[in-house]
Every structure is written in C-alpha cells, then in structure tokens.
Structure 1
Amino acid sequence: MDQGRTAILRAARKAFAREPYDAVTLRGIAADANVSAALIVKHFGGKEALFEKVADFSEATQLLLAAADDDLGRHAVVTLVNYRRENNQDLLLRVVFAAGSGDERALIREHFRDQVTRAFAARLTGTDADLRAELITAQLVGLGAAMAVNKTGPAATAAPEAIADFYAPSIQALVY
C-alpha cells in the first residue's frame, strides 16, 4: 500500500472514530494525512466510499483466516504482528475507536461482528462457537492494542514467532 493511501486511511479512521459522519470532511482528512482532497477522491471516490473502506474488515478476515484449523491461532498472531509492522497499522484495532455512540460507529462495530467475529465462528466446530469466536477476536484486538500503546515495548518489538509462542496457544485452545 502506498504511503499516501496509508496516510489517508489512518486519518480517515481517526476522523470517523472521533466525529459524527456529517462533521467529517475530505478536506479535514486530507489536512491530517498531509495530502490533497483530490488524492482522496482519486483513491477512494469520495467520503462515502472512504467510510465504507474504513468500516470494511473483509481483508483482515481473509488474512487472519488463511490457515488450517490446526494452525489458526499461530497464523492469526503472526499475521497480525507482521501486518502491523509492514503497514504501520493494525488489522482490527480500529473497532476499538468505534466504541462511542453514533450511527457510523455502530456500523463499524456491526461490520466487525459480521466480517470478523462471525467469520471466525463459522470456522469453529463444537459448542459455543459464537462465544469462542468473540474471545478469539478479543484476544487479537488486545494484542493489537498492546503493540499500539507501547510502540517500543516487548510486544511491539519481539519477533512475531516469539510472540506467537506465548500468545497463540490461548487462541488455539479456543479453536477446538
């Protein structure tokens, strides 16, 4: 992903999380991203399409679920860590910023439930799949938050495989 597009998405995520949809402007996002409003239109087509991109978790879901069930926990952890480091953003963490009130924030949370949590639940077999899926996604969001809060701390700097050695077993235990 190019730097301009990444900066736009980061600024849009922040804007839509903090302000009501009607208060968010392409000019404001452009200023925060240090790009022109025309570049936003070029990449996304407008405010509505940009919001839909911010609220869309389908790419995250595809990346996180791209493993066999036997390796799903480890794969999800390594994928989350590597994505953050390669793209300087988290796959899931934006849902935390949608915790407030407002229709647009509710839509982001709804997309997260539909696209991430329910996708994990659909992969799980056995009892309490919905609960286990919610706990899996909560752990992944928590890992993303830990890396975001302390950008130079152990969770943010350790090798992805080392993080997975500690973190993935608890997620994997929920897969079965």
Structure 2
Amino acid sequence: MTDPGRTAILRAARKAFARETYDAVTLRGVAADAGVSAALIVKYFGGKEALFERAADFTEAAQLLLGAPNERLGEHAVRTLVQYRRDNDQDLLVRVVFAAGKGDDRALIREHFRDQVTRAFAARLTGPDAQLRAALITAQLLGLGAALAIDRAGAIAAADVAEVVGLYAPGLQALITP
C-alpha cells in the first residue's frame, strides 16, 4: 500500500521543482504544500537533493506506460495515462512541460524524461526511425495528458475511458507498429 504522506510529498515536490528553480524550492515550502512536516521529508528522502532526484524520476511512469506487448502498447499507454489521471488526480508525464525553462535543474528533468520515457519507447521499436517515432509517441501522450490537466470537466475528462482509448490509441499504435 502506498504511503499517503510520501505520495503527497512527491506530488508537491514535482510541482515545485517543475515550476521553480532548484534554489527557489525549500523543504518547508514542499512540506507546506504536502501538508506534512519538513522532518518527514528528511525521514523519507534524506534532503532536498535526494527529493529532487526522486521528483525528477520518470522510471515509474515509463514502467506503467510500457507494461504491454507492442501489439497492444498504444491502447495500453492511452488507457494507463487516462486512468492514472482519474485515479490519482495527476498526470504521469506533464510535469516535464513545466521544466521547459532555463536552468540545470530543469535540464535534468528533461534529460530524465528523454532517458527514461522517450528512449524506453525507442528501445521497443524497430526501424531506422525508431527515435523519431518514440519522440512522436511521447509528444502524443504529453498532448493527451495536457488536455486532461487543462480541461478537467471537458469532453475528454467526461468521456468513457474505453471511448478515449478507441479514438486515440490507433494513432499511437500506428507509430509503434507502422
């Protein structure tokens, strides 16, 4: 079972590090946003640097999204992304968009995303254009995640998960198995 305090800390840290520079983020600020004490952050993560490394990590997201064979990967990735948003009120990937600014810390978030998500998709693909297709796959997933984050009561958010999967997954699948 997931610890709600740890989950709240990671959610607050991901938000903080994606929107602020590393130097501007404080453990007290993250703790306040998470509704916990700064001491609990230290207990779980050891300090700001370790918290940043964990917040900048996309390994879990990649594992969740890539948890199906290539023949069903488009459907699985879309279903996982939409269902994760509904179950957790957060997105697996969109935080990388907020890391588009300048700074070494934001560059590290983008680097982790490329290494842990885009390259993980590319490793599953065949053909000379695998890197390009993987980048387009993650772009489509980011777009869907952003749409869900922006319009929480809109057509996508209100639609049945199976309907979203049925409409969106074929485009993704065409990049996976062209």
TM range (shorter): over 0.9
Q: 2:48, 2:161 → 1: CA distance?
A: 35
Which stretches in structure 1 are left out of the alignment for 5+ residues?
none
Deviates more, 1:148-157 or 1:71-80: 148-157
Q: 1:62, 1:5 → 2: CA distance?
A: 19
Aligned counterparts, 1:9-48, within 5 A: 9-48=10-49
Q: 1:101, 1:138 → 2: CA distance?
A: 20
Q: 2:144, 2:20 → 1: CA distance?
A: 26
Structure-2 residue corresponding to 1:86: 87
Offset from partner CA, 1:63-89 (integer Å, 9 cap, x none): 111111110000000011111111221
Q: 1:122, 1:51 → 2: CA distance?
A: 26
Q: Which amino acid aligns with 1:3?
A: P
SS at match of 2:36: coil
Deviates more, 1:48-57 or 1:99-108: 48-57
Identity among equivalent pairs (%):
73
Structure-2 residue corresponding to 1:129: 130
Offset from partner CA, 1:138-160 (integer Å, 9 cap, x none): 00011010000011112122222
Structure-1 residue corresponding to 2:104: 103
Offset from partner CA, 1:109-164 (integer Å, 9 cap, x none): 00000110011011001231011000000000110100000111121222221110
Q: 2:46, 2:158 → 1: CA distance?
A: 36
Q: 2:3, 2:145 → 1: CA distance?
A: 22
Q: 1:43, 1:154 → 2: CA distance?
A: 39
Q: By how many angstroms is 1:5 displaced?
A: 2.3
SS at match of 1:127: coil
SS at match of 2:128: coil
TM-score for the superposition, normalised by structure 1: 0.95
Q: 1:160, 1:44 → 2: CA distance?
A: 35
Deviates more, 1:42-51 or 1:160-169: 42-51
Q: By how many angstroms is 1:7 displaced?
A: 2.2
**Consecutive aligned runs of 4 or more in structure 1 exceeding 6 Å deviation:** none
Which stretches in structure 2 are left out of the alignment for 5+ residues?
none
Structure-2 residue corresponding to 1:118: 119
Q: By how many angstroms is 1:4 displaced?
A: 2.4
Structure-2 residue corresponding to 1:150: 151
SS at match of 2:23: helix
SS at match of 1:11: helix
Deviates more, 1:158-167 or 1:11-20: 11-20
Offset from partner CA, 1:24-61 (integer Å, 9 cap, x none): 11001111222111121222221111111111111111
Deviates more, 1:76-85 or 1:100-109: 76-85
Deviates more, 1:149-158 or 1:117-126: 149-158
Q: Which amino acid aligns with 2:5?
A: G
Structure-2 residue corresponding to 1:68: 69
SS at match of 2:117: helix
Q: 1:12, 1:75 → 2: CA distance?
A: 28
Structure-2 residue corresponding to 1:49: 50
Q: Which amino acid aligns with 2:167?
A: F
